[in-house]
Structure 1
């Protein structure tokens, strides 16, 4: 019998690739996203939408969220309502099913805050510094608490996922790659700020491995990173993008935002031991793919304008 998986946030960067991967492997996939159409259009803050979508599902991958720190700072109430109330709705709906689905919750490296030492292991204490991070830490607490109520759950912590031109244009990697291709200034807010960038295709492989463990009946999965384990500063990232694009675009340094974590890179050992997973796409290879994709899109756009 074909198993059905619900993916919330299915129109996002990770959601689109994950839905395609699941379907390629024979799963039936239900989608729920504000950007969806028809049955796939829905709001996780509306319990009725979750109740309708979860029917008949063997599992749920919960990606839907106010997914950026800056958005959470601009509208804290919306961030909390989406990220926490939405998850509460999902847990409530899952508990109400006769055959309870597993839940895989997508958390963030933001939950650690500013750590005293690097790289960061999954056992590092949580110390969220902003609204978005606090909402994700609370989400982790809710998911772990749901285990005591009979749900099979897992938590994955992601860090700076990239790899598609359809991603939010103000995220750092798509912003840098597009600017380098167009020859526009790359604005670097905190050139020494250092992060762990992971290609979306690698992340989807890791999620599929976690889904496999949930499908096999694993009951006590620990939180796990899907990270490259390689630190790159924003200044270095901007320089790499310009070099790969053969661009003479200016790099404009600006002050960092007060609510951002300044340094993070994760220890991938847990994912290697638990899932047999490690990132396979190097940062330079992933950036080169994205730069080429932006060039292709811009060329098509220019051709379309010329034909008018």
Structure 2
């Protein structure tokens, strides 16, 4: 089969490309590349130069493709319009073009953020969509556009991961970096809120299994790890892997929100938008858990990487590549 991948130069997309290249099922892997190949450098992909606004490049990537993996998205931006253009309109245009090219197998990456916080029990695919951030609202609208574009002839799978971690990840990385210095920042009391996480190879396995489902229609799946966790558990595992004692720095939600506002205001003077911003703070103080039961039943998905193994692999990679 021939695959066309958007977002292949990024964290999740590059791991997907690695697995597609290793799979005997895929004879050709095309990747949309804006400029820097990053994690794809030196790999036997077919490079399609352009971005999600380049219809000629998208058309080239989709020609005779068997599967479209749409992974590209932005996760932080200062305004709704930027999210709308990057995550919603680009996705809708890509799907319409794929339909014109008769590509019938599409896997679209969304997020738990489209649904919103879980408030005491893991959410499943029947939960209403109540996002609390601009990013989450853009993913909700994206999913709506995907369903509206459905012609009942394509097989479209929407994948909603929770927090994703693993080698090459550069945002959750800041948590591990702080722990490596002996300080473990924890929002809340350590027991609450709980979070779902998924190691990147498990997510990629779920994405590829979704591509194996070819029934016509639009299907939605949470792809998460084997359990939910609290921050005391995450701190304990991280400390053991690092081989050092980590002091928990427990931060109240009010302080998180206040600090994020300061970071955002200061960064604005330099024309930047920080990773820790008001939007992100609103998400961090809430509970984010989801159930992967539907994916297990319908896709035969089974997460294989425990929290301890995933953190061990991740930190080992950071050390080898001198990130820690």
| TM norm. shorter chain > 0.5 | yes
Whether the 8 Å CA contact 1:17–1:201 is kept in 2: the answer is yes
> Among residues 48, 51, 60, which one is paired with 1:52 in the alignment?
60
> Among residues 121, 124, 146, which one is paired with 1:121 in the alignment?
124
Deviation at 1:101, TM superposition (A): 3.6
Partner of 2:267: none
Deviation at 1:126, TM superposition (A): 0.9
For the pair 1:177 / 2:181, whether they are aligned, the reply is no
For the pair 1:281 / 2:281, whether they are aligned, the reply is no
Provide TM-score, normalisation by structure 2. 0.80
Cα distance, 1:75–1:188 mapped onto 2, change above 3 Å: farther
Partner of 1:187: 185
Cα distance, 1:34–1:249 mapped onto 2, change above 3 Å: farther
Distance 1:229 1:112 in 2: 20
Distance 1:14 1:46 in 2: 22
Deviation at 1:294, TM superposition (A): 2.2
Cα distance, 1:287–1:210 mapped onto 2, change above 3 Å: same
| 1:75-94 → structure 2 map (5 Å cutoff) | 75-94=79-98
Partner of 2:199: 199
Distance 2:246 2:230 in 1: 18
Deviation digits for residues 3-25 of structure 1 (CA, Å, limit 9, x no counterpart): 21111100122211211211222
Cα distance, 1:232–1:224 mapped onto 2, change above 3 Å: same
Distance 2:48 2:56 in 1: 13
For the pair 1:259 / 2:282, whether they are aligned, the reply is yes
> Among residues 302, 308, 316, which one is paired with 1:292 in the alignment?
316
Distance 1:34 1:161 in 2: 23
Whether the 8 Å CA contact 1:163–1:287 is kept in 2: the answer is yes
Partner of 2:237: 240
Deviation at 1:123, TM superposition (A): 0.8
Distance 1:180 1:135 in 2: 32
Whether the 8 Å CA contact 2:106–2:211 is kept in 1: the answer is no
User: Any unmatched runs of 5+ in structure 1?
Assistant: 303-308
Computed over aligned residues only, the root mean square deviation of the Cα atoms, in angstroms, reads 2.4
Distance 2:16 2:118 in 1: 30
| 1:100-139 → structure 2 map (5 Å cutoff) | 100-139=103-142
Distance 1:11 1:128 in 2: 27
Partner of 2:165: 162
For the pair 1:5 / 2:9, whether they are aligned, the reply is no
Whether the 8 Å CA contact 2:80–2:134 is kept in 1: the answer is yes
Whether the 8 Å CA contact 1:32–1:43 is kept in 2: the answer is yes
> Among residues 148, 159, 170, which one is paired with 2:151 in the alignment?
148
Provide TM-score, normalisation by structure 1. 0.84
Q: Report the count of equivalent residues.
A: 285
For the pair 1:14 / 2:22, whether they are aligned, the reply is no
Deviation digits for residues 79-112 of structure 1 (CA, Å, limit 9, x no counterpart): 2211012102202211222x33422111111112
User: Any unmatched runs of 5+ in structure 2?
Assistant: 38-45, 258-280
Deviation at 1:116, TM superposition (A): 4.2
Whether the 8 Å CA contact 2:152–2:217 is kept in 1: the answer is no
Distance 1:135 1:175 in 2: 25
